[in-house]
Chains A and B, each alone.
Chain A
Amino acid sequence: MKDFIEGSEAVARAVCLCKPGVISAYPITPQTHIVEGLAQMVADGRLKCQFVNVESEHSAASVVLGAVAAGERVFTASSSQGLILMSEVIFNIAGMRMPVVLACVNRSLSAPINIWNDLQDSMALRDSGWVQLYAENNQEALDLTIQAYRLAEDSRALVPVMVCLDGYVLSHGLEVVDIPEEDKVAQFLPPFNPAEKLDTANPKSFGLLAGPDYYLEIRHDLHQAVKDTLKLIPEITADFKRIFGRDSGGLVESYRLEDAEMAIVSAGSVCGTIKDTVDNLRAEGKKVGLLRIITYRPFPEELILQALAKVPMVAILDKAISLGATGPIYADLKAAFQGKPGKKISGYIAGLGGRDITPDTIKEIFQQLAGPEVSNQFIGLKSSF
């Protein structure tokens, strides 16, 4: 069934189709529409689920941690300060190998306080042990949410998954979205039946203290589990295509890279604007393309190296920055290509705090890419304000 809905509703409908047993969240803009939608579904009796209204995001993440440990499928969502307040629990959830699914509606971080979109919130948590998926549009936000449960709960993975969608651009933007049928979702996503849970018939202890003799190995296991999802994700997207009939999600997307002399690497909804600009520049005879990162953690290094192998000039458009250093995707790309000379790799920062990234912004990046190599060049910076 097709419907004209905003990204928030796409996520809420996806979650409803996955039938979680416990949802917990705390209000924050621009995430609120997702959980309002879910609360309405629970109130209407369309979703049989415990909806726990908590007093903070820290508790929202903690509630879903407890509920998933007790054997229920769970969901939470947040943005910006809320996600950062959750961050202690975010790291803990991954360390405890709890298959939580969270929607991050991307928003800038304070100060100055700003409710508009960039990727600084989720990027700040890239080291947490969560799989991070970035949606380009509302359809993908829905599809990635369903795929996220399948991945997180796979006994080979047992890692939490964060589905990121750009605040306002997607969360409040209306698009036509194909909503899958319930029976197909049931076919794609088996019931959640964890091998280990809090169960009085089979008592186990969770969240133990591990000293220097064990910690290193346990963290290595987690690292390996997150990395191994690079193999599971293509398997899951193939199965998704088989059941739902569409390509969606995955690790990366190459767009018109075949003979490209210049490429932009980025993630999220800005990739729609980049694709449009690439089409226009291609029409003018310019050999440009896009590499879209869908799965940012784990970092699909091999695929990125392959996709960009023959592209001599690569620009990274980061909507986040490690202040005092570079954009996060730039740093990862640069590290991936170290020891492989003959390629120009430039880093650009744009769109912080909701500053529009227009086709002109993209054109400017391609123009600058022809110039000297840079590492953290801000685009659209006013000289005085």
Chain B
Amino acid sequence: MPEHLLSPGHTACAGCAQSLAARLVLDAAGPNTIIVNNTGCLEVFSTAYPDTAWEVPFIHSLFENAAAVASGVEAALRQNGKLSETRVISQAGDGGTADIGLQALSGMWERGHDILSICYDNEAYMNTGIQRSGLTPTYTSTSTSPASKSSTGNPRPKKNVVEIAVAHGIPYVATASAGFPLDLQKKVKKAMAIRGPKFLHVHVPCPLGWRHEPDQTYQIARLAVETGLFPMIEFENGKISGRYLIAKLKPVEDYLKPQGRFRHLFKPGAEAALKEIQEIANRNIERYGLVKTAT
């Protein structure tokens, strides 16, 4: 067996957290896994003909239909009696999950297929050149929501796709981060042991799109969690069942400042926008109980 089921030698950028997370996920899932992938960076950098980085069966069809293709794969495995020994993962980026792929994904969850769907969330359409998606955070500068004289960047809040998943009544929903590899793998293993639809939302910094140094990926990923901007939480059967408790809460500036996509927030006049982002973090902390309160 190869050392990793997602082989090195693919063409992901230096510091790409999506490639790191995908490797961690697949190594945790094991070789009896079939990967169904939406169009996006992950597919492009791993499967340029005639090469492939995948040591497990892999299929890519279109941008928005991985969840439906995976449903077909699962139905076929159910039909030929191989579902007990084979696991199916359907994976996509943030756009492929929460925007263009949401309908197919919702259908897959609703139908109850035995599939783990994974969102590698790098918070914009990176494969096409850093355009805003429904998971782009408030006041992010992207190529279609550029910060400029009349704009503070993306004016809308990040869509709560995690709670959309929970609302489908599926047995397991969790978030994870490339900055917490062991936690990510633990959640993959937990999800794989549950039959039915599972959703794992993984936060993956993108040095190119977020404009930070490639060697900062890990720290940036951790800061998103430690500021409360990316809550690490678990839901089982509709109820919150796990949370990463932030030991030492950090101000959002610590997370935002190293990233070029938020540079405009540190110019004079952007104080209100910064305050709003801190309020988003505060609301997350309160909503999900991310900080241990003295009792």
B34 at the interface (CB under 8 A from A): yes
B34, B61, B67 — which one has the most chain A CB atoms within 10 A of its CB? B61
- From B61, B73, B103, A70 is in contact (CB under 8 Å) with B73
Nearest chain A CB to B6's CB is how many angstroms away?
12
CA distance A243 to B196 in the complex (A): 44
**Interface 1/0 per residue, A90-123 and B, CB below 8 Å:** 0010001000000000000000000000000000
- Interface residues in B46-62 by Cβ distance below 8 A to A read 47-50, 52, 54-62
- From A60, A70, A92, B76 is in contact (CB under 8 Å) with A70
- From B47, B58, B65, A209 is in contact (CB under 8 Å) with B47
Question: Closest residue of chain B to A53, judged by CB?
Answer: B111
A204 x B57 contact (CB < 8 A): yes
- Asked whether A62 and B59 contact (CB < 8 A) given A50-B78, A55-B104, A205-B47, the answer is no
CA distance A65 to B68 in the complex (A): 9
Residues of A within 8 A of B121 (CB): none
A14 at the interface (CB under 8 A from B): no
Nearest chain A CB to B111's CB is how many angstroms away?
7
B151 at the interface (CB under 8 A from A): no
Interface size on B, residues (CB 8 A): 45
Residues of B within 8 A of A385 (CB): none
B64 at the interface (CB under 8 A from A): yes
Residues of A within 8 A of B60 (CB): 206-208
Nearest chain B CB to A176's CB is how many angstroms away?
34
Residues of B within 8 A of A314 (CB): none
A58 at the interface (CB under 8 A from B): yes
A59 x B57 contact (CB < 8 A): no
Nearest chain A CB to B161's CB is how many angstroms away?
17
Residues of B within 8 A of A207 (CB): 43, 47, 59-61
A96 x B61 contact (CB < 8 A): yes
Nearest chain B CB to A214's CB is how many angstroms away?
5
B260 at the interface (CB under 8 A from A): no
The segment from A124-132, A195-203, A315-323 found at the interface with B is A195-203
- Asked whether A72 and B103 contact (CB < 8 A) given A62-B69, A204-B57, the answer is no
A208 x B48 contact (CB < 8 A): yes
Q: Is the interface of A mostly helix, strand, loop or mixed?
A: mixed
Question: Closest residue of chain A to B46, judged by CB?
Answer: A205
Residues of B within 8 A of A74 (CB): 72
CA distance A66 to B65 in the complex (A): 10
- Interface residues in A35-59 by Cβ distance below 8 A to B read 49-50, 52-56, 58-59
- Asked whether A63 and B69 contact (CB < 8 A) given A203-B55, A204-B57, A205-B58, the answer is yes
Question: Closest residue of chain A to B69, judged by CB?
Answer: A66
Nearest chain B CB to A195's CB is how many angstroms away?
14
A62 x B68 contact (CB < 8 A): yes
**Interface 1/0 per residue, A65-93 and B, CB below 8 Å:** 11111111010000000000000110010
A369 at the interface (CB under 8 A from B): no
- Asked whether A88 and B107 contact (CB < 8 A) given A70-B34, A203-B56, A205-B52, the answer is no
Residues of B within 8 A of A208 (CB): 47-50, 52, 60
- From B36, B70, B80, B107, A54 is in contact (CB under 8 Å) with B107
A62 x B62 contact (CB < 8 A): yes
A72 x B79 contact (CB < 8 A): yes
A342 at the interface (CB under 8 A from B): no
- Asked whether A66 and B36 contact (CB < 8 A) given A21-B80, A88-B62, A207-B59, the answer is yes
- From B59, B70, B103, A55 is in contact (CB under 8 Å) with B103
- Asked whether A62 and B65 contact (CB < 8 A) given A24-B72, A206-B59, A214-B49, the answer is yes
B33 at the interface (CB under 8 A from A): yes
Interface size on A, residues (CB 8 A): 43
- From A72, A198, A200, A214, B50 is in contact (CB under 8 Å) with A214
Nearest chain B CB to A201's CB is how many angstroms away?
9
Question: Closest residue of chain A to B51, judged by CB?
Answer: A208
A283 at the interface (CB under 8 A from B): no
- Asked whether A54 and B79 contact (CB < 8 A) given A69-B59, A203-B58, A204-B57, the answer is no
Nearest chain B CB to A343's CB is how many angstroms away?
44
Residues of B within 8 A of A199 (CB): 57
- Asked whether A198 and B34 contact (CB < 8 A) given A59-B107, A209-B49, the answer is yes
Nearest chain A CB to B54's CB is how many angstroms away?
5
Residues of A within 8 A of B62 (CB): 62, 88-89, 92
Residues of A within 8 A of B57 (CB): 198-200, 203-206
Nearest chain A CB to B293's CB is how many angstroms away?
42
- Asked whether A209 and B107 contact (CB < 8 A) given A50-B79, A203-B57, A214-B50, the answer is no
A15 at the interface (CB under 8 A from B): no
B162 at the interface (CB under 8 A from A): no
Residues of B within 8 A of A89 (CB): 61-62, 65
B104 x A58 contact (CB < 8 A): yes
Residues of B within 8 A of A71 (CB): 76, 80
Question: Closest residue of chain B to A207, judged by CB?
Answer: B60
Residues of A within 8 A of B77 (CB): 70
B58 x A206 contact (CB < 8 A): yes
Question: Closest residue of chain A to B76, judged by CB?
Answer: A70
Question: Closest residue of chain B to A199, judged by CB?
Answer: B57
Question: Closest residue of chain A to B47, judged by CB?
Answer: A208
**Interface 1/0 per residue, A221-249 and B, CB below 8 Å:** 00000000000000000000000000000
CA distance A62 to B50 in the complex (A): 24
Nearest chain A CB to B205's CB is how many angstroms away?
24
Could you list 22 examples of A-B contacts with CB < 8 Å? A22-B76, A24-B75, A50-B76, A50-B78, A52-B72, A54-B68, A54-B71, A55-B103, A59-B65, A60-B68, A62-B62, A62-B69, A66-B70, A66-B74, A71-B76, A200-B56, A203-B31, A204-B58, A208-B48, A208-B49, A209-B48, A211-B49
Query: What 9 pairs between A and B have smallest CB-CB spacing?
Result: A66-B72, A62-B68, A70-B76, A55-B107, A66-B69, A59-B68, A207-B60, A67-B72, A205-B52
**What 15 new A-B contacts, CB under 8 Å, besides A60-B68, A198-B34?**
A22-B79, A55-B110, A59-B71, A59-B107, A62-B72, A62-B104, A65-B69, A68-B72, A69-B73, A70-B76, A88-B62, A204-B57, A206-B60, A208-B52, A210-B48
